Amino acid sequence: MERNSRIFVAGHRGLVGSAIVRRLVEDGFTDLVLRGRDELDLTDQAAVRAFFDREKIDHVLLAAAKVGGILANDRFGGDFIRDNLLIQTNVIDAAWRAGVRKLLFLGSSCLYPKFAEQPLKEEALLTGPPEPTNKPYAIAKIAGITLCQAYRRQYGFNAICAMPSNLYGPGDHFDPEGSHAIPGMIRRFHDAKMERAPSVTLWGTGTPRREFLYVDDMADACLHLMETYDGEDIINVGPGEDVAIGELARLIRGVVGYEGALTQDLSKPDGHPRKLMDVSRLSATGWRPKVGLEEGLRRTYGWFLENAAPPVPRTAGSEAAE
């Protein structure tokens, strides 16, 4: 991508999209096209086609998606599959029709079959059913990957697909009930610290292992792939190493500076014992993450304190593994 390329970042206000914008600006890209949901409804086919016809986009980074936790997926599965199918189909098709030179589509490690062999290789996709708790989302995103691959084969459209591991960092959601593991723990340890609560409870045994990637590293990987990768095959993006949820909780407790006890509620489920991706395909292109887990946690907590910490502390609760 040239520094004066016209680049559309779809979903620029989200966790990944905002990190991509930060990185593009830092690298000197001068012609970013950004549209909020109130300016461009990506579920509206006519509006999306008109946008691409008008704006003459060179490159697209498709980070827009309807996302949520287990509860949201269970309650609003119809919304998840409908909206994601519409967003990705409209953007990918309109980008091809308008002559976009390259498009990056983002999947997720949660698209892999629940019981696929660890670490998860790219070839494991579609070798078994997805995790039931996020099935509507997973099926929609798998359809997006398939659409990119089919357009490449039929039309020669240069669309590539990346599969991020669990992401965290500035711009995350720190809802104590509905957020993912890292922002949820940060919020609960912070609240416990402010309230001087004697303990914070971790769900389950703390032994499940998960892989986490700092979102600015994800943005770096996205630009790296746009510059170096043109294959049809999906490509995993992650650090290639995981951490036990119990150890993660202790790291976050230290970063937050909470001095109370960490207890466990063994009546709560652990979830899948391990979720780690094989990143050898990405490593072969020369990319490595730059931000280690503890440093990433410190940066994320710093952002939380400046942007998302509540003025009135809430009661500390428990946290489950993603």
> What whole-number distance in Å separates Cα of residue 69 and Cα of residue 137?
10
Cα(143)–Cα(81) distance, integer angstroms: 10
166 known ligand binder? yes
Q: 114: exposed, middle or buried (C-beta count within 10 Å: 0-12, 13-18, 19+)?
A: middle
Instruction: Tell whether residue 180 is among the known ligand binding residues.
Output: yes
Known binder of ligand: residue 17? yes
Q: Is 287 labelled as part of a ligand binding site?
A: no
222, 164 contact by CB (below 8 A): no
Would the annotation count 14 as a binding residue? yes
- Please indicate if the annotation marks 167 as binding a ligand: yes
Consult the annotation and say whether 22 binds a ligand: no
Q: Beta strand 209-210 with 243-244: parallel, antiparallel or unpaired?
A: antiparallel
The answer on whether 53 is annotated among ligand-binding residues is no
Residues 6+ apart with CB under 8 A from 283: 240
280 assigned to a ligand binding site: no
Is 28 labelled a binding residue? no
Is 13 annotated as belonging to a binding site? yes
Q: Has 108 been labeled as part of a binding site?
A: yes
Consult the annotation and say whether 164 binds a ligand. Answer: yes
Confirm whether residue 66 is marked as ligand binding: no
Q: Please name every residue paired with 188 in a beta bridge, in sequence order, or none if there are none.
A: none
- Active site (catalytic) residues: 137
Determine if residue 61 is labeled as part of a ligand binding site.
no
Residue 44 annotated as part of some ligand binding site: no
- Residues belonging to the binding site for NADP(+) are 11-17, 106-109, 141, 164-167, 180
- Residues belonging to the binding site for substrate are 188, 203, 210, 270
- Residues belonging to the binding site are 11-17, 106-109, 141, 164-167, 180, 188, 203, 210, 270
